[in-house]
């Protein structure tokens, strides 16, 4: 396995915690602690849809203990998150009152609801331009009105969307979003040409990765917010080093490599995400100097300085990659079961770009009949890719999906 780190929901915490801990030492900013702290809680929206934003010092994941369906009470546990003395406040929209206090193994958020509502979605936003902390976001939606009321409720829904969007656009949305700068996403369809990748019952990995990459490209471009660069858009072989170069030359904000897993046990299925871990980063530096690739990319002169810069860039990048990995798993898990399992190292060289946040998504097992059906069927594949697009929106803090759901 070497230094490749498969990201599960828990290992993300360890990875991000380690990365932030290192940064704090470098910056002299704070003593390294073990978990995240709740910084503050904010509410926005109205009685149709209400958003709760928990500002956190670090990455965290939440567990729903009660989703509001039964007793107008939402409880979300945040294991590993500390809360100093507790926080509470009055309500807004669907929330009558809220409390954050000590829960099992961490903090616990409790919401008393003012009306029948349930959790519509939850996600983690990593630090973005202009926002220095993590945000754990919970969206509540009022229980769907009876069919006769739907026609009348449309203006209210529109108002809700705009008020949530307003709330988001003030404190949560990155300041840079005011500029019409498109984020550059590099989509890497795994394998290709002479390298077929894994073999399924109905075809090769290289074909489903290309089809998925094309689907993701058109979905991202349709939003008008992203510039998409493909490492390949035909059935050709592209060397791993060239794929990494494409990402750097494009000045990518995010690099996502799409693959399909394989296993000797045909019952194995599920999606997973990789990022680089410490030992791989050591290898990255070696890989870079050996291929003379970092030097070509514009760094020269004092070797010590460029080593420090490379190291710092890698720490930041690793942190961001891990954040995106968690956001991605959250979204993909709506469509695919998740898996934790070791992985072959071949193909992972595409993650070795020192300054581009990068993940490798195994969309599912091509050797499993159910997963292969998801990957081969255009509409199911599109839905899966749409969840990847949602994750990219989450990562860049786009408050845009409210209108489409």
Applying CB under 5 A, the span of 16-24, 159-167, 190-198, 370-378 interacting with Zn ion comes to: 190-198
Does residue 197 touch Zn ion according to CB under 5 A? yes
Minimum CB distance to Zn ion, residue 196 (Å):
10
CA 5 to chain CA centroid, nearest Å: 16
Does residue 347 touch Zn ion according to CB under 5 A? yes
Q: Which of 145, 164, 67 is nearest to 110 (CA)?
A: 67
- Alpha-carbon gap, residue 381 to 14, rounded angstroms: 31
Residues binding Zn ion: what is the number (CB under 5 A)? 4
Contacts of 398 (CB under 8 A, 6+ apart): 177, 223, 225
Alpha helix ranges (H) inside 238-344: 240-249, 278-291, 293-296, 303-332
- Alpha-carbon gap, residue 212 to 258, rounded angstroms: 8
Applying CB under 5 A, the span of 144-152, 184-192, 231-239, 378-386 interacting with Zn ion comes to: 184-192
Contacts of 387 (CB under 8 A, 6+ apart): 331, 332, 334, 335
Q: Name the token pair of 316.
A: 């930041």
Report the site for Zn ion in 97-136 (rule: CB under 5 A). none
Q: Which is nearer to Zn ion, 259 or 269 (CB)?
A: 259
Applying CB under 5 A, the span of 85-93, 175-183, 344-352, 390-398 interacting with Zn ion comes to: 344-352
Minimum CB distance to Zn ion, residue 130 (Å):
36
Minimum CB distance to Zn ion, residue 190 (Å):
4
Does residue 240 touch Zn ion according to CB under 5 A? no
Does residue 190 touch Zn ion according to CB under 5 A? yes
User: Cα angle at 339 between 36 and 38, to 5 degrees?
Assistant: 10
Minimum CB distance to Zn ion, residue 30 (Å):
40
Q: Which of 124, 35, 163 is nearest to 394 (CA)?
A: 124
Q: Which is nearer to Zn ion, 262 or 333 (CB)?
A: 262
Does residue 200 touch Zn ion according to CB under 5 A? no
Q: Which is nearer to Zn ion, 68 or 347 (CB)?
A: 347
Question: Which residue number places its CB atom closest to Zn ion?
Answer: 259
Minimum CB distance to Zn ion, residue 382 (Å):
20
Q: Which is nearer to Zn ion, 138 or 256 (CB)?
A: 256
Q: Which helix (H) or strand (E) holds 395?
A: helix 378-395
Q: Which is nearer to Zn ion, 248 or 259 (CB)?
A: 259
- Alpha-carbon gap, residue 353 to 243, rounded angstroms: 10
Report the site for Zn ion in 216-235 (rule: CB under 5 A). none
Minimum CB distance to Zn ion, residue 55 (Å):
38
Are residues 267 and 368 in contact, defined by beta-carbon separation less than 8 angstroms?
yes
Could you list the residues that contact Zn ion (CB under 5 A)? Answer: 190, 197, 259, 347
């Amino acid at each position: 396995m070497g230094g490749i780190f498969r990201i599960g929901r828990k290992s993300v915490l360890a990875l991000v915690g380690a990365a932030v801990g290192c940064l704090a030492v470098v910056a002299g900013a704070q003593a390294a602690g073990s978990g995240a702290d709740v910084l503050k809680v904010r509410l926005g929206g109205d009685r149709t849809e209400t958003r709760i934003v928990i500002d956190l010092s670090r990455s965290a994941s939440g567990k729903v203990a009660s989703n509001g369906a039964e007793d107008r009470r939402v409880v979300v546990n945040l294991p590993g998150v500390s809360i100093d003395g507790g926080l509470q406040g009055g309500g807004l929209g669907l929330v009558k009152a809220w409390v954050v206090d000590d829960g099992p193994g961490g903090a616990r958020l409790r919401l008393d609801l003012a009306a029948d509502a349930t959790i519509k979605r939850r996600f983690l936003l990593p630090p973005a331009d202009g926002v220095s902390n993590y945000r754990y976001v919970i969206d509540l939606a009022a229980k769907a009105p009876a069919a006769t009321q739907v026609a009348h409720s449309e203006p209210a829904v529109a108002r809700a969307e705009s008020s949530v969007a307003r709330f988001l656009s003030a404190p949560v949305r990155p300041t840079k979003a005011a500029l019409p700068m498109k984020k550059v996403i590099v989509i890497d369809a795994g394998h290709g040409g002479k390298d077929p990748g894994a073999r399924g019952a109905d075809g090769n990995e290289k074909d489903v990765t290309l089809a998925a990459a094309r689907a993701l490209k058109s979905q991202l471009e349709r939003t008008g917010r992203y510039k998409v660069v493909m490492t390949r858009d035909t059935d050709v072989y592209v060397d791993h080093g060239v794929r990494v170069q494409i990402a750097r030359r494009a000045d990518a904000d995010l690099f996502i490599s799409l693959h399909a897993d394989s296993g000797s046990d045909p019952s194995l299925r599920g999606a997973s995400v990789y990022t680089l871990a410490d030992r791989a980063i050591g290898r990255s530096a070696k890989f870079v100097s050996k291929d003379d690739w970092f030097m070509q990319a514009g760094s020269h002169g004092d070797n010590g300085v460029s080593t420090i810069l490379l190291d710092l860039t890698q720490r930041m990048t690793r942190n961001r990659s891990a954040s995106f990995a968690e956001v991605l798993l959250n979204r993909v898990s709506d469509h695919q079961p998740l898996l934790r399992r070791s992985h072959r190292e071949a193909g992972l060289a595409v993650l070795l770009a020192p300054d581009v946040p990068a993940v490798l998504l195994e969309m599912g097992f091509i050797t499993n009949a159910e997963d292969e059906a998801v990957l081969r069927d255009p509409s199911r594949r599109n839905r899966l890719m749409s969840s990847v697009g949602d994750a990219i929106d989450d990562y860049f803090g786009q408050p845009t999906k409210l209108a489409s759901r």
